A and B are shown apart, each in its own frame.
Chain A
Amino acid sequence: MDLTHSPADEEFRAEARAWLRAHVPRVPLPSLETAEGFAAHRAWEAELAADRWSVVSWPRRYGGRDAGLLRWLVFEEEYWAAGAPGRVGQNGVGLLAPTLFAYGTPEQRARVLPPMATGEVVWAQAWSEPEAGSDLAALTSRAVRANGGWRLRGQKTWSSRAAFADRAFGLFRSEAAASAPHQGLTYLMFDLRAPGVTVRPIGRLDGKPAFAELFLDDVFVPDEDVIGEPGQGWRIAMSTTGDERGLTLRSPGRFLAAAARLRELWRAQGSPEHARARVADAVIGARAYQLFAYAAASRILDGGRLGPESSMNKVFWSELDLALHETALDLLGAEGELADGAWSEGYVFALAGPIYAGTNEIQRNIVAERLLGLPKGRR
């Protein structure tokens, strides 16, 4: 067992650290979930991309640095430790790009990935529908065959970033007579400004339009924007949920930085006894998450798979994130109630963690059935 990085990876770390020190904005950017903040975060992505720091794990031809999993973990540690801004392109980079690498055509990758890397095109996800949340396969929005492509009809909701994003990706029912709910679905990309698309922003708990409803009224999508085979969308969408994505959705660096900030806050407040245990547990939790990620990365590099273990990951980080932010608000006392406090936005964001990307109950079902081998029960 070896927890030391190679000299080459340490050199990479030093290079990232130096760049971030020179470029990270001294004053935090306005909230990502406002028009002004969205634009500022988009500009930050362009600045990162100009020196190939926006998507380090991608191949060079799409704007990356060919960084392996370990180097990506190193970059993330430096990125969040530097206090750098949140990533407006996360949905595209974390969800769509891995799908394109696995199932996209060379033409799709060449067309979609470079503008994603620079923030020129920001992607929103379009999975959930009013009657299809945890039971995603119950979705009813349709893709109907049209000349040279498809026409989308229906409604998507809880579409993160869609209030200000440019394009979206999601699943649509393309075969009316499929034998099972998860069959006959097609994975499509579409333009949020195309004729027939209505975007209705939704204010999250703090009122900021962090997500939106999408009304789709005969929206034309050309064949070139179908990912993989029509009808195979479910398999395509699910095949990348377990593996690396389970590791890369939320990097350990983010929580290590937050836990370090929490420890500083606790000390600045005079190390109050009432929060001692919770601060220590946040520090330990962030370290556990980091080591879990290094173990998972080592397994993947040995040719193994992560699979359903990523469900434990999701439960763990979402609960850690919430506990960490709640502790910070408690430490702040009366100041913790302020909507523009240093921890407020992070707290509101953390509240959503146990719900999105598969609720924690769905994840526990997966752990129970697929890791522990318990019999499948009624949902």
Chain B
Amino acid sequence: MHFALDAEQRAFADALHAMLTAADTPAVIRAWSRGDHAPGRALWSRLAGAGVFALAVPQGYGGLGLLPVDLAVAFVELGRHAVPGPLAETVGAAVLLGEPPLARRFLPGLAAGADLATVAAPGGYAVDGDAASLRLCPAPDGLYRAADPGPVRRSLDPARRLTRLSPAGDLLCRDAPYDRALAWIRLATAAQALGTGLALLDRTVAHVRRRTQFGVPIGSFQAVGHRLADAKTALEFARPLVFGAAVSMRPAEVAAAKLTACEAAYRTARTALHLHGAIGYTAEYDLSLWLTKARALHAAWGTPQQCRDLVLAAGL
């Protein structure tokens, strides 16, 4: 029993945080939202170079092995910096395509960051189908590779460009490990949401320390401090669920982590919006990039009800 990140994992998080801080992600996100994927793809390559996508790819296919705890470490940082693109979906694709012969064909490109992949959610949209070179569409009779992304629809989170894929085209295999892939996508989404919430909290704490009204920083008011204390508490209790899920990878544990991290991030987003006042309500202010993502992740890859059902059916 030692439920803590090791020195290497902490250093990995610090290195990603430093890289992403220097990368000016808000500018990258805004370009991505306009359909200009070039800066996002450049950042994607650097993330792949740091080993982010190799954490869901076995060693024989250009990966580092299946390392869900390290993947969660990375995705907290991706969330913290609101990195755009089909991040969790690329991880899911690596798991869906993880068996030979497909693995040999697709995994090296995913691990190296040469390929971005998206996966159509059941009955829903695929994120960033226009940016992905690999569009996977799971269907009852097998896993399809969609040729055409279809028209892009705008998400409430401008960085997520939604397309609807149809299960037609290239049938890649009949029995892809969909449940396993779903657990990985959910874990990545949970960690990303946790990072999103942590960034919202940090930005809001900085704001209420700076912003003065009635002659004092508004952060000195209890009504303000207590909302932020609740956000902090919710996030810090979501964190061990996320890493506990990464350790076990049991679907019910992953669902609990996904639900709790997304709830905590969304509650934090509401608090962040409120405490920023009107400036937080503008698209121009960068806070909006995290605010809208918190809402989108909340519903992505498992609604609260679906996650709760899994928990009640299997127990934790």
Contact = CB atoms under 8 A, between A and B. Distances in A.
B1 A70 contact: yes
A375 B217 CA distance: 7
Contacts, number: 153
Contacts of B219: 368, 374-375
Interface in B237-276: 237-241, 243-244, 246-248, 253, 256, 259-260
A287 B256 contact: yes
Interface in A362-379: 363-365, 367-369, 371-379
Chain A interface, >50% SS class: helix
A20 interface: no
B280 interface: no
B238 to A, nearest CB: 7
Nearest to A6: B1
Contacts of B225: 364-365, 368-369, 372, 374, 377
B232 A374 contact: no
Contacts of A363: 229
Chain B, interface size category, equals 35 or more
B209 interface: yes
A9 B238 contact: no
A298 B233 CA distance: 19
Contacts of A276: 308-309, 312
Contacts of A2: 1-3, 247
Contacts of B308: 276-277, 280-281, 284
B4 A375 contact: no
B237 A288 contact: yes
B305 interface: yes
A374 B205 contact: yes
A202 B229 CA distance: 33
Contact of A1 (B2, B221, B236, B312): B2
A24 interface: no
B173 to A, nearest CB: 32
Interface in B156-210: 201, 205, 208-209
Contacts of A301: 2
Interface residues of A, number: 51
A279 interface: yes
Given A5-B1, A298-B3, A309-B236, A372 B220 contact: no
Nearest to B316: A287
Nearest to A375: B220
A193 B159 CA distance: 71
A312 interface: yes
B304 A277 contact: yes
Nearest to B202: A372
Interface in A292-322: 292, 294-295, 297-299, 301-302, 309, 312, 315-316
A367 B232 contact: yes
A379 B238 CA distance: 29
Nearest to B238: A288
Interface string A247-278: 00000000000000001000000010000110
B1 A283 contact: no
Contact of A298 (B2, B221, B260): B2
A142 B107 CA distance: 74
A180 B117 CA distance: 64
Nearest to B259: A284
B222 interface: yes
B50 interface: no
A367 B237 contact: no
- Most chain A CB neighbours (cut-off 10 Å) among B201, B222, B238, B239: B222
Nearest to B305: A277
Interface of B: 1-6, 69, 201, 205, 208-209, 216-217, 219-222, 224-226, 228-230, 232-233, 236-241, 243-244, 246-248, 253, 256, 259-260, 304-305, 308-309, 311-312, 315-316
The 6 closest A-B pairs by CB, nearest first: A368-B225, A377-B220, A291-B240, A280-B308, A367-B229, A364-B229
22 contacts: A1-B69, A2-B1, A3-B1, A271-B312, A280-B308, A280-B312, A283-B312, A284-B311, A294-B3, A298-B3, A312-B236, A315-B233, A361-B222, A364-B225, A364-B226, A365-B225, A367-B232, A368-B219, A368-B225, A368-B228, A374-B220, A375-B217
